[in-house]
Amino acid sequence: MAWYAKPTEALASELQTDLNVGLNVDETARRQAQEGPNELPDAPPPSLLKLFLAQFSSLIVWVLIGAAIVSGLLEDWIDAAAILAIVFLNGVLGFVQEFRAERSLAALRKMSVATARVIRGGALQSIPARELVTGDVIALEAGDRVPADSRLFYTTNFQAQEASLTGESTPVQKQAERLETTEVPLADQHNMVFMGTVAVSGKARGLVVATGLGTELGRIASMIQKAAEAERDETPLQRRLEQFGYTLLWLALGVVTVVFALGYFRGEPLVEMFLTSVSLAVAAVPEGLPAVVTITLAMGVTRMAKRHALIRKLPAVETLGSATVICTDKTGTLTKNEMTVTRVMMDNSHFEVTGEGYEPSGEIREALGVKREAHLDLSPLTPGLRQLLTAAVLCNGATLQQENGTWQIIGDPTEGALLVAAAKAGLTKAELERRAPLDREVPFDAERKMMTILRRTEQG
């Protein structure tokens, strides 16, 4: 539905809500019972038995089990026990790795309990985002994650980061005015905010128009789920192992047939020749191959875990290694989407800024090779460079903060990159703002294409 093309008053009337008061308690309870929780349903985790049995679904594993059975029938108990032990240990190793991954993912889901600020009964309150319903009035400001698809009816210099949904790495300027046309692409719906995106600057209020699976993010999740259920593709490694299993199977049958036929034509006892040919076929099966593959993949999973990447299925760790070409016109969807200042040019001088991401560790050095270490003593900085970085910090609406050991930017990523560059030179926002408190601010305006900040310094 083209929510973006409707006047907010008509929209509020259609959703039976009040833009200033919001919904009352009774209406909220009724809609929650009707719509369900505002969340994307997770597929139920596999049971421990199912997870364990899944480790024995490969054809080559069944070939090994068949070889163990044949060895047992031939009363070769040592070979039978060795093959079964390898198969069992291989299954246990795969089960342990995938069980750890499932448990880690479950712990992450419990940690990420999102909240939303909503107006209900005329009062602004904070509630779990899963309790939102259509018709709720939400309040957003820099740093908030949008809890549901909403039509904005009030904005003040409001921008949202929509890279997770549209792939656009730069923040999108939002507005409250309705759009005149009804066929507008998702990325151009500038009076809408969508579940899962992030507010980077300004303030806004919006009317929730869709929750849960009804949101744009929910539609994508539904399509992915349907595609996954309809087509369970195997990884390249799994396909090659499956192919190898069939090759082994036909090779074993060929050995049995050829040896038995030769013995028959030579007049050898049939039972003896049958047992000999089966023994040769069993000996041709590489019992250690599944264990070697599993251990190799487990080592890859361990290395990925050290880089804070969770792998749910062991074969998946090999899939990306099989990619030969990645074609994309986006950066934020493939990278951390963290802008970084790498070079400063002024006063006929070029400066390089080292370091990556939002962590304020690095140094500023002249591009000609004269190194200028960054520390709290600002003497290595030229007066012009110091003045430039100071202005970049004081005329800046972003905030740099550390949370759980990770540096994050609250606000516009471009302004955040400027903060980080200044911090590498020892110019912190807190200290500079203490020396030059805010006097007046003129927010960014699309016509002026600039923001203006007035501050009082010791010189006035």
**Active-site residue, selected from the candidate residues 329, 347, 412, 445:** 329
Determine the Cα–Cα distance for residues 339 and 420; give it in Å rounded to an integer: 10
Determine the Cα–Cα distance for residues 159 and 412; give it in Å rounded to an integer: 8
Phi (first) and psi of residue 126, to 5 degrees: -105, 125
**CB neighbours (10 Å) of residue 65?**
14
42 is catalytic: no
Judge contact between 374 and 363, C-beta under 8 A.
yes
Determine the Cα–Cα distance for residues 10 and 90; give it in Å rounded to an integer: 63
Determine the Cα–Cα distance for residues 70 and 108; give it in Å rounded to an integer: 46
Q: Would you state the structure tokens that stand for residue 81, as one six-digit string?
A: 């026990």
Nearest to 207 by CA among 1, 38, 15: 15
Determine the Cα–Cα distance for residues 410 and 141; give it in Å rounded to an integer: 10
Residue linked to tokens 């990619």: 323
Nearest to 207 by CA among 126, 130, 132: 132
Determine the Cα–Cα distance for residues 258 and 251; give it in Å rounded to an integer: 10
Judge contact between 375 and 365, C-beta under 8 A.
no
Determine the Cα–Cα distance for residues 456 and 460; give it in Å rounded to an integer: 5
Sort strands 343-346 and 349-353 into parallel, antiparallel or unpaired. antiparallel
**CB neighbours (10 Å) of residue 323?**
8
Dihedral sign computed on CA atoms, order 244, 245, 251, 254: negative
Determine the Cα–Cα distance for residues 30 and 322; give it in Å rounded to an integer: 51
The DSSP result for 6-23, as a single string, is S-HHHHHHHTT--TTT-B
Determine the Cα–Cα distance for residues 129 and 164; give it in Å rounded to an integer: 18
- Could you tell me the maximum CA-CA distance found in the chain, to the nearest angstrom? 114
Any idea which residues carry the catalytic annotation?
A: 329
